[in-house]
């Protein structure tokens, strides 16, 4: 091992940002940077509490949480940047972190970076530290997972560590509030001093080349980027905006000697310069570890490893995985159902009655009580009834993610999901979709790649949710008698076929560029999730959902009520007293009906059901009943007098082929927009444009399938 110093301390250098424009006089900005799964977000949540908001970084598609960190000395803005293994940008997330650290042209750059390093897995974390040190940004190191490291006999000499990197180092255990005051002091100290950390030594040969490259760096680029980072980036072949290509080529040419000096013939391409530099960073990391880390004994097989032997094994892996998914499915359906019904009953019962009473007391006009009762209260009721479901989903997501099982699950089903071009993790949201599409969409957040999230989010509505089941059961009962069960089962099979088929179709068209990404997955050690972490995460996600979804849902429910209350074209009765058949809703259904003629159900009754089905599938049965001027059947699974009426309608519209017509109706119901809440959730997760595309795609698919089912079916039945 060489006698070279580990880092070159650069105390005399003035710090980069002090006199540059773009640094406002407001709160100091502190950014959290670190590998994924090192407890960075836990630290963020503990430091900011409820004072935080999550949103896209201005002009980027990267979601970043920002919060306020209150200290006795004042307030700081804390930015939780996406977890990353390096500053080489391969994804928009990583590019944002890199740009904020190196590009002085960026707004809202951090004044200090808190680098969270997982103490139980230092080598890989130090690799990132080396890169961040090269940017010259003042840093404070927060050592996390100290408890896990200790349990494995790993002890870090914190003082020596700080000395060697030229920056403060603070061990923290955020879950127990340990080390947080020391961290605060260190950050405040770093803010006051604005001192860059040391520069990691990359070995004699690389350092010589870096010195050579530094000599010809263009002066204007040095105003924008830190010198050492720029030299390293150009040497390793990165394209840096604002730096001419020739400079990059010259830097790489200067590095050619590093490859020639290699004694094996493994490295020959100039692309391999990146490897040479990476190896030197790792060599630096291992030298640093040798100086600061003491290991007691050699703990080879940890408890985690023993658990993994079962959970990821060839034989037990998949069965255990399906068992866990089944558990998630049961919890999001069976446990949530009574809560959901309870809330709905509360709204429909006491709340509505109370409000109606109050409105009568104020002798409110009919339109006002209609608006309040059937519009706003009904809409809020629908939204609230989803809250238990969403909360359960978010808790389960947190538990699976925090415990470390999610990473194993992704490994176990990876091959299966590759069939439709999605990584293993996408399995969970799709399974949850059978219960309800809304939490399933929220579940797409476990996917780190935006394109994977979009594709999964577009496929989820094809998963047949439990609300659709109520309609299948009623309709199949009316038309298929003892065969009803088989027909309902067939709908589920079709749902899976649709997901796979549409997945293949979208992957071959819109998502064509989605290359095969080999699986390389870090498995974090198993941990017991803490209530505090789960609670905060659940609350944040739930609140975000309520904020984005509420307006859309209440507005749609109100709109349907309005349409059903307004008499069409001078029909009988006044506002709110007209029979549904003669309302605007009825006439809208009549306008839509001809579109379904080729599918064999071109009549206003089924069309009206499909229109309310757009708002909520739960309302389909009662709408059908309403259109025949009957009450909602007491038992949804028994159609009562609704049966003959329905049979008659389909018999007429299908010209005697009522079986294929009713199958076409069910297929349409399966494939088109599940409900308004799903649309709202899609908008929250995928954005407005993709949501509109999704709605359009589903309507087209649903219509084509329905027409195909009827036309082909009518030849035989």
Partner 1 sequence: MTLRGCAVGSRLEVCRVTGGRRHRRRLIELGFVRGAVLSVIGRGTMGGLVLALGDSRIAVDSFTAETLLVKPAHV
The C-alpha atoms of residue 394 and residue 258 are separated, in whole angstroms, by 51
197, 131 contact by CB (below 8 A) = no
Restricted to residues 108-137, the positions that interact with partner 1 (CB under 8 A) are: 120-124, 127
Q: HSE of 472 in the Cβ direction (CA atoms, 13 Å)?
A: 23
Instruction: Tell me the β-bridge partners of 193.
Output: none
Minimal distance, residue 153 CB to partner 1, in Å: 11
Which residue, 516 or 716, is less far from partner 1 as judged by CB? 516
Which residue, 127 or 710, is less far from partner 1 as judged by CB? 127
Q: How many residues make up the chain in this entry?
A: 717
Q: Based on the shown chain and the rule CB under 8 A, indicate whether residue 205 belongs to the binding site for partner 1.
A: no
Task: Identify the helix (H) or strand (E) that includes residue 715.
Answer: helix 688-716
> Rounded to 5 degrees, what are φ and ψ at 157?
-80, 95
167, 175 contact by CB (below 8 A) = no
Applying CB under 8 A, among 481, 518, 570, 688 the residue interacting with partner 1 is 518
Q: Are strands 74-80 and 112-118 parallel, antiparallel or unpaired?
A: unpaired
Minimal distance, residue 45 CB to partner 1, in Å: 25
Minimal distance, residue 240 CB to partner 1, in Å: 17
The C-alpha atoms of residue 170 and residue 182 are separated, in whole angstroms, by 7
Which residue, 127 or 561, is less far from partner 1 as judged by CB? 127
617, 663 contact by CB (below 8 A) = no
User: Which of 147-163 are b and which e, b meaning 16 or more Cβ less than 10 Å from the residue's Cβ?
Assistant: bbbeebebebebeebbb
Q: Which stretch binds partner 1 (CB under 8 A): 65-73, 328-336, 374-382, 403-411?
A: 403-411
Q: Which stretch binds partner 1 (CB under 8 A): 224-232, 500-508, 516-524, 628-636?
A: 516-524
Applying CB under 8 A, among 20, 73, 253, 521 the residue interacting with partner 1 is 521
Q: Other C-beta atoms within 10 Å of 575: how many? A: 14
Which residue, 24 or 298, is less far from partner 1 as judged by CB? 298
* Residues 215-254 as x/- pattern, contact with partner 1 by CB under 8 A: ----------------------------------------
Which residue, 409 or 676, is less far from partner 1 as judged by CB? 409
Minimal distance, residue 128 CB to partner 1, in Å: 8
Q: Based on the shown chain and the rule CB under 8 A, indicate whether residue 449 belongs to the binding site for partner 1.
A: no
Q: Based on the shown chain and the rule CB under 8 A, indicate whether residue 278 belongs to the binding site for partner 1.
A: yes
Applying CB under 8 A, among 9, 63, 71, 85 the residue interacting with partner 1 is 85
* CA torsion, ordered 395, 493, 636, 553, to nearest 10 deg: 50
Q: Based on the shown chain and the rule CB under 8 A, indicate whether residue 271 belongs to the binding site for partner 1.
A: yes
Which residue, 18 or 260, is less far from partner 1 as judged by CB? 260
The C-alpha atoms of residue 123 and residue 115 are separated, in whole angstroms, by 14
Minimal distance, residue 420 CB to partner 1, in Å: 16
Applying CB under 8 A, among 68, 214, 304, 448 the residue interacting with partner 1 is 304
Q: Based on the shown chain and the rule CB under 8 A, indicate whether residue 318 belongs to the binding site for partner 1.
A: yes
Q: Other C-beta atoms within 10 Å of 556: how many? A: 21
* Residues 89-108 as x/- pattern, contact with partner 1 by CB under 8 A: -x------------------
Applying CB under 8 A, among 69, 229, 411, 434 the residue interacting with partner 1 is 411
Q: Other C-beta atoms within 10 Å of 712: how many? A: 12
The C-alpha atoms of residue 148 and residue 700 are separated, in whole angstroms, by 53
DSSP string, 49-101: TT-EEEEEPTTSS-EEEEEEEEETTEEEEEEEPPP-S-SS-SSHHHHHHHHHH
Residues contacting 510, CB < 8 A, separation 6+: none
Q: Based on the shown chain and the rule CB under 8 A, indicate whether residue 522 belongs to the binding site for partner 1.
A: yes
Q: HSE of 46 in the Cβ direction (CA atoms, 13 Å)?
A: 22
Which residue, 135 or 677, is less far from partner 1 as judged by CB? 135
Which residue, 220 or 522, is less far from partner 1 as judged by CB? 522
Applying CB under 8 A, among 98, 195, 287, 408 the residue interacting with partner 1 is 408
Minimal distance, residue 274 CB to partner 1, in Å: 7
Which residue, 121 or 682, is less far from partner 1 as judged by CB? 121
Q: Based on the shown chain and the rule CB under 8 A, indicate whether residue 151 belongs to the binding site for partner 1.
A: no
The C-alpha atoms of residue 109 and residue 533 are separated, in whole angstroms, by 28
> Rounded to 5 degrees, what are φ and ψ at 592?
-70, -35
Minimal distance, residue 648 CB to partner 1, in Å: 53
Which residue, 513 or 518, is less far from partner 1 as judged by CB? 518
Q: Is 675 helix (H, G, I), strand (E, B) or coil?
A: coil
Total number of residues binding partner 1 (CB under 8 A)? 44
Give CB contacts under 8 A, 24+ apart, made by 265-272. Answer: 270/237, 271/237
Minimal distance, residue 120 CB to partner 1, in Å: 6
Applying CB under 8 A, among 17, 108, 274, 348 the residue interacting with partner 1 is 274
Per the listing, tokens 């089962």 go with: 489
Q: Based on the shown chain and the rule CB under 8 A, indicate whether residue 275 belongs to the binding site for partner 1.
A: yes
Applying CB under 8 A, among 181, 268, 305, 345 the residue interacting with partner 1 is 305
455, 507 contact by CB (below 8 A) = yes
Q: Based on the shown chain and the rule CB under 8 A, indicate whether residue 72 belongs to the binding site for partner 1.
A: no
Which residue, 94 or 111, is less far from partner 1 as judged by CB? 94
Restricted to residues 453-492, the positions that interact with partner 1 (CB under 8 A) are: none
> Rounded to 5 degrees, what are φ and ψ at 138?
-60, 135
Applying CB under 8 A, among 18, 215, 219, 520 the residue interacting with partner 1 is 520
Minimal distance, residue 53 CB to partner 1, in Å: 30
Q: Which stretch binds partner 1 (CB under 8 A): 42-50, 343-351, 406-414, 481-489?
A: 406-414
Q: Based on the shown chain and the rule CB under 8 A, indicate whether residue 279 belongs to the binding site for partner 1.
A: yes
Q: HSE of 109 in the Cβ direction (CA atoms, 13 Å)?
A: 22
Structure tokens at 384: 């609230």
Structure tokens at 665: 């109706």
Query: Contact residues for partner 1 (CB under 8 A)?
Result: 85-86, 88, 90, 120-124, 127, 152, 154, 266, 271, 274-275, 278-279, 282, 301, 304-305, 308-309, 312-314, 317-318, 407-408, 411-412, 414-415, 516, 518-525
């Amino acid at each position: 091992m060489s006698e070279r110093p580990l880092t070159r301390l650069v105390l005399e250098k003035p710090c980069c940002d002090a006199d540059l424009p773009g640094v406002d006089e407001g709160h100091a900005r502190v950014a959290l940077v670190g590998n994924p799964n090192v407890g960075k977000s836990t630290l963020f949540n503990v430091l900011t509490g409820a004072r935080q908001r999550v949103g896209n970084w201005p002009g980027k598609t990267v979601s970043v949480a920002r919060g306020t960190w209150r200290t006795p000395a004042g307030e700081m803005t804390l930015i939780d940047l996406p977890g990353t293994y390096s500053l080489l940008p391969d994804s928009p997330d990583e590019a944002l972190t890199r740009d904020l650290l190196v590009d002085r042209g960026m707004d809202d750059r951090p004044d200090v970076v808190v680098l969270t390093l997982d103490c139980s897995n230092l080598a890989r974390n130090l690799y990132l530290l080396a890169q961040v040190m090269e940017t010259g940004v003042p840093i404070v190191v927060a050592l996390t997972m100290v408890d896990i490291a200790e349990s494995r006999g790993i002890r870090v000499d914190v003082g020596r560590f700080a000395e060697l990197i030229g920056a403060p180092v603070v061990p923290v255990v955020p879950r127990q509030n340990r080390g947080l005051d020391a961290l605060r002091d260190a950050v405040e100290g770093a803010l006051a001093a604005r001192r860059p950390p040391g520069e990691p030594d990359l070995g004699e040969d690389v350092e010589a080349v870096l010195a050579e490259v530094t000599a010809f760096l263009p002066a204007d680029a040095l105003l924008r980027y830190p010198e050492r980072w720029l030299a390293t980036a150009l040497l390793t072949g990165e394209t840096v905006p604002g730096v001419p290509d020739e400079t990059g080529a010259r830097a790489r040419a200067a590095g050619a000697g590093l490859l020639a000096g290699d004694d094996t013939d493994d490295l020959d391409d100039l692309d391999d310069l990146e490897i040479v530099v990476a190896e030197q960073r790792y060599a630096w990391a291992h030298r640093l570890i040798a100086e600061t880390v003491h290991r007691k004994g050699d703990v080879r097989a940890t408890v985690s490893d023993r658990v993994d032997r079962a959970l990821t094994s060839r034989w037990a892996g998949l069965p255990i995985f399906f068992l866990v998914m089944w558990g998630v499915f049961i919890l999001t359906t069976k446990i949530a159902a009574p809560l959901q019904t309870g809330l709905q009953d509360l709204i429909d019962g006491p709340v509505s009655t109370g409000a109606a009473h109050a409105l009568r007391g104020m002798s409110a006009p009919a339109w006002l009580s209609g608006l309040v009762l059937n519009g706003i209260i009904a809409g809020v009721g629908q939204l609230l009834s989803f809250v238990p479901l969403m909360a359960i989903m978010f808790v389960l997501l947190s538990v699976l993610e925090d415990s470390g099982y999610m990473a194993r699950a992704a490994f176990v089903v990876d091959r299966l999901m590759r069939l439709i071009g999605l990584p293993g993790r996408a399995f969970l949201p799709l399974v949850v979709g059978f219960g309800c599409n809304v939490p399933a969409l929220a579940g797409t957040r476990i996917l780190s790649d935006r394109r994977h999230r979009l594709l999964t989010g577009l496929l989820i509505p094809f998963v047949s949710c439990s609300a659709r089941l109520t309609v299948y059961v009623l309709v199949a009962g009316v038309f298929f008698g003892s065969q009803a069960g088989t027909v309902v089962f067939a709908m589920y099979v079709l749902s899976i076929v649709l997901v796979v088929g549409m997945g293949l179709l979208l992957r071959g068209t819109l998502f064509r560029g989605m290359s095969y990404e080999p699986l390389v997955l870090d498995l974090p050690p198993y941990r017991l999730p803490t209530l505090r972490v789960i609670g905060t995460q659940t609350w944040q996600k739930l609140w975000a959902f309520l904020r984005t979804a509420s307006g859309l849902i209440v507005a749609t429910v109100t709109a349907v009520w309005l349409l059903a209350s307004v008499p069409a074209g001078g029909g009988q009765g006044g506002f709110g007293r007209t029979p549904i058949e003669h309302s605007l809703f009825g006439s809208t259904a009549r306008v839509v009906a001809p579109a379904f003629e080729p599918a064999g159900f071109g009549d206003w009754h089924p069309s009206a059901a499909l229109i309310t089905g757009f708002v909520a599938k739960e309302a389909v049965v009662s709408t059908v009943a309403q259109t025949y001027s009957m009450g909602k059947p007491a038992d949804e699974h028994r159609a009562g007098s609704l049966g003959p009426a329905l049979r008659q309608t389909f018999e007429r519209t299908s010209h005697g082929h009522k079986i294929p017509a009713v199958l076409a109706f069910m297929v349409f119901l399966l494939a088109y927009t599940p409900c308004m809440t799903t649309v709202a959730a899609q908008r929250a997760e995928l954005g407005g444009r993709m949501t509109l595309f999704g709605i359009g795609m589903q309507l087209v698919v649903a219509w084509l399938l329905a027409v195909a089912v009827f036309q082909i079916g009518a030849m035989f039945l």
